[in-house]
Structure 1
């Protein structure tokens, strides 16, 4: 296990918060520390063709998530992603409010992203 330090400095976790009830209140839900999962989420987000749009959704986001460096010495501007589940549970919509960016992911990416972030299947959300 001697080599794992080579990338140790830039490793990140994803911190996920879940909305409680109908209000704009959130609780810490999950921390994703598995490097493969973190990289997969990054790949999905990097491949997105974001729209520049200020959107107004009918309710606060279902989840919020952001990347956190494991090494607290690394200073990075945290980007907060807000996630909504579509009414049919077949897509997720993402917003980066601070940058006025919006995207509705396709079914495959929606399902994969949601499952990594929550540990649940998108199609089984109640």
Structure 2
């Protein structure tokens, strides 16, 4: 699936992604500032998260609860230096918890990401729009 959109359309894009059958583990690939966190916020909102969502840059993982009690984990692995750091924090327990895991900078832990996952690539276009490719 490929979608080109403006930021004003991000909630509709999040809904389309969720309706496409995203897996429990979703990796987000994009350059810094391309909109990974913004898209994750929109996905969380569409899933019924009412809390304030923010990038977990300093804590590595944020936990959100949906209105029906489901848990969503939002990871920002940018600050990791090694996969061992992620393993030491118990990242595999999150990945195999059965809860949705939305992962920014998965390139930092290539050997720890479960094989059964969805991958979203975001490219910022010259006109300010974004192009998402879902695999």
TM normalised by structure 1 equals 0.26
TM normalised by structure 2 equals 0.25
Specify which structure has the bigger relative contact order, considering alpha-carbon pairs within 8 angstroms and separated by 6 or more residues. Answer: 2
